[in-house]
Chain A
Amino acid sequence: KAGVTQTPRYLIKTRGQQVTLSCSPISGHRSVSWYQQTPGQGLQFLFEYFSETQRNKGNFPGRFSGRQFSNSRSEMNVSTLELGDSALYLCASSLVGQGAGVNSPLHFGNGTRLTVT
């Protein structure tokens, strides 16, 4: 079974631009979460989607948004990029919310490394 796939792997953008990152979850997983990892703040939760609905949201400004499609694939968007948005963005999928999967683990992709210049 294929793992969580994130594209692109690396991205360089300029301050003020916007960016869209893509995530394909493990087949059959309907929960998709996004995390930001920086050297200073570590791994921080951005949001979680299930069946195209945002179920949970972390403490990030409104410039960070996401969505999930009917096939469970997800995208996250960051508008008006700032230098501090440079980070590794990780997507994870899980069976949580699908009956027996209530304690199922998260399966992470290898992330998209975003550099803002």
Chain B
Amino acid sequence: QSALTQPASVSGSPGQSITISCTGTNSDVGGYNYVSWYQQHPGKAPKLMIYDVTNRPSGVSDRFSGSKSGNTASLTISGLQAEDEADYYCSSYTSSNTLLFGGGTKVTVL
């Protein structure tokens, strides 16, 4: 099964908002509200930022928000900060009873 489609890179200036897309199919993103987003800094393990499309775990800044429309989920980072520079991955449960990750997006703070 192919990875979910994410843009390779997104950039923004401090204070701006950016949005990362995650496109799948009716068999994954579009079929379930089990989309998660992860942040990964170099050399570190991924950290859960959003689960079930829109929910933030305790301790995650409210500058991070998630949404979904059809087969595309999105992660928005508001008030971009230097510490937000990292790789971001989406994941989705699939109709094959598997989990699928996106290819990852590198966020650069200009």
Whether A and B are associated in the same complex: the answer reads no
List residues of chain A with CB under 8 Å of any chain B CB: none
